C-alpha cells in the first residue's frame, strides 16, 4: 500500500475510532448513569466525565498516530540514515544489506539505497582492479622496456668507444634496428591496451568478406616468411561475410600469425588457416606445428601480462598484452576467441564471429 493510501486510512481510523468510542460512552452515560431530571451534582459529573473522556480519546488518537509513524516511517528512515552515513564514510562492503521493510515508497527508497550500495561496491572493486592492473602494467612494461633499452645503450656505447670496426658497426646498427622495432611494438600495445581499458578505442564496423581478407594477409606473410608453408582452406565456395572492423580484426590475425611464427623451432614450419561457417557463426582457425602450450598455461594465456613457460624461452617472448588485447577486440565484435594445444603437436587459435549475411 502506498504512503498516501496509508495516510488516508490512518486519518479515517483516527477520526472514526475516537468518534465511535465517544458516542458509545455518551450513550452509556445518557441512558444508564445520569438522571437529568434532577439538577445539581449529576450535571456537573456528566460534564466532567464528558470532558475527561474527550481528553482521553484525544490522547488515544495521538498515541495511535505516533505508534504508526514510528513503525512505518521513523524507524525505517533511521535505518536508511544510518546506512547513508556508512556509505558516505566509505563503509559500502558491509555484510548487512539494506532490507526492504515495507512495500511502499519507503520500501522503494530502501531498495534504491541498496542498489546504490551494490553499485558502489562494484565500482570500488573495478577501481581496485584498475589500480592493480596499472601497477602490473607499470611493472611489466618497465621490465619489458629495460631489456631493449639497455641493449641499445650498450651497442651505442660500443660504437662510440672506437673499438668497433666497420662490420661490427653495421652489425650493431642492425641489432639496434631490431630492438627499436620491439620497442615500437611494446609502445603500440601499451597504447592500445590503455584505449581499450578506458573504452576509447574507436571501432569502424562494416561488412567484411573474410575469405579475401584472410588470403590478402597470408600473401603478405608469405612474401616475408618464405621458409613457412602457409595453407588456406575454406569449407565452402560461398562468401564468408561478417560485421567487423577491418583494421582491428587484421591486428588480431597478424598477432596470431606472429605468435605462431615466433615460437616455431621445427625445420618444417607450417601454418594452416581454416575458414568455416555453421549456424550463423563463422570460425577462423589458425593452426601451427609449433612446440605447443603446457596444459597448466593454457587456461591463462588470455590473462593480462601472462606469459607461458614456452614463451619465456624466447628472448622476445612478448609483453603479455597481445592475446588479452586480441580477446577484447574480438569481444567487441560480439565474438569469441579460444585456444587448443598439445605439447609437441602445435596450437590452434579459433576466432568465432557472427555471420552478417543479407
Question: pLDDT, tens digit, for every residue of 281-326?
Answer: 999 999 998 888 888 888 888 887 676 655 555 545 556 678 888 9
Hey, which bits of the chain come out as E strands? 206-209, 228-234, 241-244, 269-278, 281-288, 336-342, 346-354
Q: Is the pLDDT of residue 49 over 60?
A: yes
pLDDT tens column, 89-120: 666 555 555 555 556 666 677 777 777 777 77
Cβ neighbours of residue 310 under 8 Å, at least 6 residues apart?
A: 263, 291, 292, 293, 294, 297
Cα separation, 258 vs 253, in Å, equals: 9
In the numeric block, which cell numbers belong to residue 283?
570460425
Which of 204, 210, 255 has the alpha carbon at shortest distance from 235?
210
Most confident range, picked from 80-89, 113-122, 223-232: 223-232
Write down the mean pLDDT value for the chain. 77
DSSP 101-143: --SSHHHHHHHHHHHHHHHHHHHHHHHHHHHHHHHHHHHHHHH
- C-alpha to C-alpha distances, 3 to 65, 107, 152, 226, 229, nearest whole angstrom: 14, 10, 75, 79, 76
CA end-to-end span of the chain, whole Å? 52
* pLDDT at residue 106 in the model: 66
C-alpha distance from residue 178 to each of 60, 120, 140, 183, 184 (Å): 92, 47, 20, 9, 10
Q: Of 181, 210, 196, which is closest to residue 324 (Cα–Cα)?
A: 196
User: Is it the case that residue 274 has pLDDT exceeding 90?
Assistant: yes
Query: Which DSSP helix (H) or strand (E) runs through 87?
Result: helix 75-88
Q: Can you give the pLDDT at residue 239?
A: 87
pLDDT at 228 over 60: yes
CA distances from 253 to 237, 238, 246 (A): 21, 21, 10
User: Is the pLDDT assigned to residue 249 strictly greater than 90?
Assistant: yes
- In sequence order, what DSSP letters do the residues of 320-342 get, joined into one string? S-HHHHHHHHHHHTT-EEEEEEE
pLDDT at res. 7: 59
pLDDT at residue 213 greater than cutoff 90: yes
Report pLDDT for 93: 56
pTM, two decimals, is: 0.56
- The proportion of the chain whose per-residue pLDDT surpasses 70, expressed as a percent, equals 66
pLDDT for residue 169: 87
Judged by average pLDDT, the poorest of 5-19, 32-46, 83-97, 231-245 is 32-46
The answer to whether the CB of 212 falls within 8 A of the CB of 249 is no
Burial (CB count <10 Å: 0-12, 13-18, 19+), residue 265: exposed
Amino acid at each position: 500500500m502506498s504512503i498516501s493510501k496509508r495516510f488516508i486510512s490512518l486519518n479515517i481510523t483516527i477520526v472514526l475510532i475516537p468518534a465511535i468510542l465517544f458516542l458509545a460512552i455518551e450513550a452509556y452515560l445518557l441512558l444508564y448513569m445520569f438522571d437529568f431530571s434532577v439538577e445539581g451534582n449529576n450535571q456537573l459529573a456528566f460534564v466532567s466525565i464528558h470532558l475527561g473522556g474527550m481528553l482521553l480519546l484525544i490522547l488515544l488518537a495521538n498515541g495511535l498516530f505516533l505508534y504508526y509513524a514510528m513503525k512505518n516511517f521513523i524507524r525505517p528512515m533511521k535505518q536508511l540514515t544510518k546506512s547513508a552515513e556508512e556509505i558516505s564514510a566509505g563503509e559500502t562492503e558491509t555484510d548487512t544489506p539494506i532490507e526492504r521493510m515495507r512495500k511502499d515508497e519507503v520500501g522503494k527508497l530502501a531498495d534504491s539505497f541498496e542498489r546504490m550500495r551494490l553499485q558502489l561496491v562494484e565500482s570500488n572493486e573495478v577501481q581496485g582492479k584498475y589500480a592493480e592492473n596499472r601497477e602490473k602494467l607499470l611493472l611489466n612494461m618497465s621490465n619489458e622496456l629495460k631489456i631493449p633499452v639497455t641493449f641499445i645503450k650498450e651497442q651505442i656505447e660500443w660504437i662510440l668507444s672506437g673499438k668497433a670496426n666497420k662490420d661490427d658497426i653495421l652489425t650493431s646498427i642492425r641489432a639496434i634496428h631490431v630492438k627499436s622495432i620491439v620497442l615500437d611494438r611494446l609502445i603500440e600495445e601499451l597504447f592500445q591496451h590503455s584505449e581499450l581499458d578506458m573504452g576509447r578505442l574507436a571501432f569502424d564496423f562494416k561488412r567484411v568478406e573474410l575469405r579475401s581478407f584472410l588470403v590478402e594477409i597470408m600473401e603478405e606473410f608469405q612474401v616475408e616468411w618464405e621458409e613457412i608453408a602457409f595453407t588456406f582452406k575454406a569449407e565452402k565456395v560461398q562468401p564468408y561475410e561478417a560485421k567487423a572492423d577491418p583494421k582491428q580484426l587484421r591486428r588480431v590475425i597478424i598477432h596470431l600469425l606472429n605468435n605462431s611464427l615466433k615460437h616455431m623451432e621445427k625445420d618444417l614450419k607450417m601454418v594452416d588457416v581454416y575458414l568455416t561457417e555453421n549456424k550463423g557463426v563463422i570460425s577462423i582457425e589458425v593452426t601451427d606445428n609449433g612446440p605447443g602450450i603446457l596444459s597448466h598455461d593454457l587456461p591463462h594465456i588470455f590473462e593480462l601480462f601472462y606469459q607461458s613457460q614456452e614463451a619465456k624461452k624466447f628472448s622476445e617472448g612478448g609483453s603479455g598484452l597481445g592475446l588479452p588485447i586480441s580477446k577484447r577486440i574480438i569481444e567487441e565484435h560480439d565474438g569469441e576467441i579460444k585456444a587448443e594445444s598439445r605439447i609437441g603437436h602445435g596450437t590452434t587459435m579459433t576466432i568465432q564471429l557472427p555471420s552478417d549475411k543479407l
